[in-house]
Amino acid sequence: MQLINRWLCACFAIAALTAQAEPLSVTKVADGLYVHQGVHEDLSEGYHGDICNISFVIGSKGVAVIDTGGSFKTGQALHDAIRKITPLPILYVINTHVHPDHIFGNAAFVADKPVFVGHAKLADAMTLRADAYMRMNQTWMGDAFAGSEIVKPTLAVQDTLTLDIGDRKLILTAYPKAHTNTDITVLDSKTNTLWTGDLLFIERTPSVDGDIKGWLTVIDQLKQLKVSEVVPGHGTPTKDAQAAFGKEQHYLETLLTDIRASIKKGEVMEKTMDTAAASEKNNWVLFDIVNRRNVNNLYPALEWE
């Protein structure tokens, strides 16, 4: 009887893992370009693995996926959405950076045998963070995290890299340490659409996990680009890239200035968490949670400037 029960549990586990989730809702933002917009939810208990923007681009030869979501389940739902629109092979899976909400859906695409693409430092960053990411996401999502795994890039972006998917080219650019140390952007040459990963947040409070000064430098570079539309890592795609980058830049500059001022006045980090960038509170979603985390990450380093 015990053996039968174990067999039944195993069968149920396999069935739950392979069951077809509802395909993700996607929006066609330009010719051959589709985006699923994640919800504004924090990475914590109750997180569902679907908070970032994940996309795919269809060329005449095949498909390139840009980020895959925070779990195998989300990646599979994205895969199903692609298959509702095109039978063309999935040629590339591109990760814009290392954060777990962008990479754990990779596992749903392994069977397609695409080329996995990312920043030259992404593979090492995945290795360093793998244990913590697996443990935290399992705690947050429980059974909904089943099947998720770290899938590393097989093609690295050192500086720039061009991918040809047929009748359109995707131009990938790697950046020095900014939001993270693994950031890349993707530019579709056919429609002049730019994917920024988390180098750009719209609506959701920008989260700093790298070098805020480096990030501000990269924003200045990105503002020089003349693009038709920008797809941020979080938030609603927009045709007004300048306004979006400007708003994010203002938040980061305010945060940096306020933390420096607190340090100069001798205020402790706990107090600074309540005051730094407080003027920005009404401009961003999840401000109280993310802004405090930003101060916690930045204050110790800025003390040693």
Q: What is the pLDDT of residue 108?
A: 98
In a domain, 157, yes or no: yes
Is pLDDT above 50 for 1? no
Amino acid, single-letter form, for residue 115: V
Per residue in 231-266, pLDDT (tens digit) is: 999 999 999 999 999 999 999 999 999 999 999 999
Q: What integer is the mean pLDDT of 123-133?
A: 98
- With respect to residue 9, please indicate whether it lies within any of the assigned structural domains: no
Whether residue 152 is contained in a domain is answered as: yes
- pLDDT of 9 > 50? The answer is no
254, 246 in Cβ contact below 8 A?
Answer: no
User: What is the reported pLDDT for 15?
Assistant: 42
| pLDDT of 251 | 98
Residue 10 lies in a domain: no
Which CATH number characterizes residue 251's domain?
A: 3.60.15.10
- Three-state secondary structure call for residue 139: helix
Q: pLDDT tens digits for 203-236?
A: 999 999 999 999 999 999 999 999 999 999 999 9
Torsions phi, psi for 210 (to 5 deg)? -135, -115
pLDDT at position 122: 98
Asked if 197 contacts 184 with a C-beta cutoff of 8 angstroms, the reply is yes
Residue 105, pLDDT > 80, answer yes
In a domain, 111, yes or no: yes
Nearest Cα neighbor of 234 from 1, 33, 38, 97 is 38
What per-residue confidence (pLDDT) applies to 33?
98
Q: For the residues 185-203, what does the mean pLDDT come to? A: 98
Query: What is the rounded CA–CA span in Å between residue 261 and residue 253?
Result: 12
pLDDT digits (tens, 9 = 90+) for 17-50: 444 568 999 999 999 999 999 999 998 878 999 9
Global pTM? 0.92
Question: What residues make up the domain containing 210?
Answer: 20-302
Residue 1 belongs to some domain of the structure: no
3-state secondary structure of 187: strand
Q: Residue 138: inside a domain, yes or no?
A: yes
Give the count of domains, the chain.
Answer: 1
SS3 (DSSP) at 251: helix
The 8-class DSSP code of residue 285 comes to B
Terminal CA-CA length for the chain: 66
13 in a domain, yes or no?
Answer: no
Residue 10 has pLDDT above 90, yes or no: no
